[in-house]
Chains A and B, each alone.
Chain A
Amino acid sequence: MELYHVELLSAALFAIGIYGVLARRNSVLILMSIELMLNAVNINAVAYSAFLDPGRLVGQVITIFVITVAAAEVGLAMAIILRLYRTMSTANADEADSMKW
C-alpha cells in the first residue's frame, strides 16, 4: 500500500461524489453524495498525515473537525429538506424552482 494508491482511491471517491451531486434529483441523495466527497477529503488528510509527517497530528485533527462539521451539516440539511417538503410537497432539487429566474 503506497501513498498514491490511497490518493487514487480518494480521487475516485471524490469524482463519484461529484457525479452524484450533479446527476441526482432527490435532495437526500445529493446530501449522500456530499458525504462521499467529504470522506474522500478525510481519507486524503489522514493518508498525508500518516505517510508524510507521522510525528505531527494535523491531518487527524482536521479530519475530526471535518466529521464534526459533516454531522452538523446533515442535521441542518435534514431540517431544511423537511421544511422544503412541507412547503413545496417535493424533495427534488429541480422542482423547487420558485426562485429561479
Chain B
Amino acid sequence: MDASAVAFSFLAVMVIGGALGVVVTRNVAHAALFLLLSLASVGGVFILLVAEFLALVQILIYGGAITIVLLFALMLTRAEEFTNVRDNPQWVVAAVAALSIFGVLGGVILNNKLDTQELAGPSLEELGAELFTNWVIPFEIASVVLLIALIGAIILARAADGDDGQGEKSDTPTPPSLTNTDGTPGGRS
C-alpha cells in the first residue's frame, strides 16, 4: 500500500464513521459535530483527488458555515429533546432500504470497473478561467439563487417576528410618556 492508499483508508473510515454517528447518535449536538468530522474528512478526500480548491471550499463552507447554521437551528428549536432523540418506528424499513441501495450501487460499481487515467487535477488558474468563461452563465445564476435564498430566509424569519410584534403592539398602542390619560399632550405633569 502506498501513502495515498493509507491516507484514503484513514479518511474513508473517518467519513463513514462520522456519517454513522450522524444517523445513530441520540444527541443532536453530537450529530452536528459528527457531521463536521465527516465533511472535513470529505475535504481530505478531495485533496487526495487533486482538487485542492474544492477541499478549501468544503472546509470553509461546510465546516465554517453550514455546521454553524445547523447548530443555530438546533439552538433555536426545542432544547429539551437534544439529548434523547427518538427515531421513527420504521427505522428497520429505512435500514433495509439503505442496505439494498448500497448493495445495488456496490454491485454496479464492482461489475463495471472503468479504465482510469493517471490521477490529475486542474490548477486553480484553470478552474477560475473555466468558471468565468464556459460556465459564466450558470455561475451568475448560482449567485442569483443565493440571493433569492437569502431574501427568502429573511422573509420567512421576519414574518414570524411580525406576527409576534403585531400581537404586542395591539396591547400597547402608544408609549404613555407622549399622551396623558385625559388626552392632553405634554407628559405626565
Contacts and interface: CB of A to CB of B under 8 A. Distances in A.
Interface string B110-153: 10011011111110001100110001001000100110111011
B51 A36 contact: no
Contacts of A67: 54, 57-58, 61-62
B16 interface: yes
Contacts of B93: 22
Given A9-B15, A15-B99, A32-B32, A74 B90 contact: no
Interface in B78-101: 78, 81, 85-88, 90-91, 93-95, 97-99, 101
A68 B109 contact: no
Per DSSP, chain A at the interface is helix
A16 B18 CA distance: 10
A53 B153 CA distance: 38
B178 interface: no
26 contacts: A1-B5, A1-B8, A3-B114, A13-B15, A13-B38, A15-B99, A15-B102, A19-B97, A29-B85, A32-B22, A35-B66, A46-B46, A46-B51, A49-B51, A60-B121, A61-B131, A61-B135, A63-B54, A67-B62, A69-B145, A74-B66, A74-B70, A75-B149, A76-B152, A90-B78, A91-B77
Interface of A: 1-9, 11-26, 28-29, 31-33, 35-36, 39, 42-43, 46-47, 49-54, 57, 60-61, 63-65, 67-83, 85-86, 90-91, 94
Given A23-B88, A76-B152, 19 more contacts: A8-B109, A11-B109, A16-B16, A19-B91, A19-B94, A22-B90, A22-B91, A23-B91, A28-B77, A31-B73, A39-B39, A50-B119, A51-B119, A64-B54, A67-B54, A72-B148, A74-B66, A75-B153, A79-B152
